[in-house]
Amino acid sequence: MVSTLRTVLGDVLPEQLGVCDAHDHLFLSTPLLPGQGLRDAAAARAELAAFRAQGGGGVMQWTPYGLGRRAADLPALARESGVHVVAATGLHQAGHYGEGTLERLRGRLAEVFVAELTEGIGASGVRAGFVKVAAGFHALDAHARWTMAAAAEAHHATGAPVAVHLELGTGALDVLDLLCGELGMPPDRVILGHLNRSPDFVVHHQAAEAGAYLAFDGPSRAHHATDWRMPNAVRALAEAGFTDRLLLGGDTTTAGARSVSGGPGMPYLLRRVRPRLEMAVGVQVVERMLTENPARAFSVEWH
């Protein structure tokens, strides 16, 4: 069996990915960010081009079901920019949805995830490459347990990795207890997001030791209070031997945060975060975080 990354243009070998933004958004619309949605395909195209100009080769788009993924637009954007784009299935926290949407998914959530991974998102024919779900602040509510159970089921059916939004970076160990302890997922198929938002180096160490991937994503956006601690958090993990567990992402979530709107956007990851991290852990470690690690974390022996 060959491991591949399931991009919006089809499956590719992991070594084709290149320098990867392991957590970002080209499109995202949620009632929690009214009027700030990422909806404009021309802006997404320009953002990808700016990322490409900084040496970017791949983007993992963590926008899940029902939040304006615009899956049908993704193949053209990937083709025109020359950047590999991987789309997600999955479900965010309940607050991002109207009750009607969630009711329609009761009893068939895993089925929807599997269909989007294997057949396509809606009528687009574009397949998702991973499952994105979300935890709560230091806790897992009934919605999080429901979506994670479906995500684990979809993993077991397809091999797809599961990427988790940690609320303000908390709850990592509860998520691993549920997905790996109760639901039988291998830890190296779990990608924890937003570790930078809760700089508890002991919890980081425990999550890495358990075998999960840790994504440090979202520099200089809405959650900037801990940005300055990120290089030291990454260095502590690298020095403890967990270099191969580390991922980097930009997590652009509003139109105003795109570089083409005057925000940091996707290129910032390569333009400013990369050289800053190189000062903390060296060029080779950062290179692995941007290439080998995301290629390994998101590639799958699909079944």
Tokens matching residue 231: 């290089």
Q: Which residues bind Zn ion (CB under 5 A)?
A: 62, 251
Instruction: Identify which of residues 166 and 270 has a Cβ nearer to Zn ion in the complex.
Output: 166
Pair 261, 254: CB distance under 8 Å = no
Instruction: Identify which of residues 64 and 75 has a Cβ nearer to Zn ion in the complex.
Output: 64
Tell me the residue type at 292.
E
Instruction: Identify which of residues 167 and 285 has a Cβ nearer to Zn ion in the complex.
Output: 167
In residues, how long is the chain?
303
Least Cβ distance, residue 30 to Zn ion (angstroms): 11
Q: Count of alpha carbons within 13 Å of 119, Cβ hemisphere only? A: 7
Pair 235, 280: CB distance under 8 Å = yes
Least Cβ distance, residue 248 to Zn ion (angstroms): 13
Which residues are paired to 5 by β-bridges? 12
Instruction: Identify which of residues 4 and 61 has a Cβ nearer to Zn ion in the complex.
Output: 61
Residue ranges for the binding site for Zn(2+)? 23, 25, 132, 165, 194, 251
Q: For residue 164, give the nearest of 126, 200, 207, 124 by alpha carbon.
A: 207
- Region at 195 (left for phi over 0; alpha for psi -120 to 50; beta for the rest): alpha
Q: For residue 90, give the nearest of 140, 43, 143, 42 by alpha carbon.
A: 143
Least Cβ distance, residue 29 to Zn ion (angstroms): 13
Least Cβ distance, residue 249 to Zn ion (angstroms): 8
Least Cβ distance, residue 289 to Zn ion (angstroms): 18
Q: For residue 269, give the nearest of 88, 73, 48, 77 by alpha carbon.
A: 48
Task: For residue 272, count CB atoms less than 10 angstroms from its CB and return exposed for 0-12, middle for 13-18, buried for 19 or more.
Answer: middle
Least Cβ distance, residue 194 to Zn ion (angstroms): 8
Instruction: Identify which of residues 134 and 286 has a Cβ nearer to Zn ion in the complex.
Output: 134
Instruction: Identify which of residues 4 and 136 has a Cβ nearer to Zn ion in the complex.
Output: 136
CA gap 217, 299 in Å, rounded = 19
Residue ranges for the binding site? 23, 25, 132, 165, 194, 251
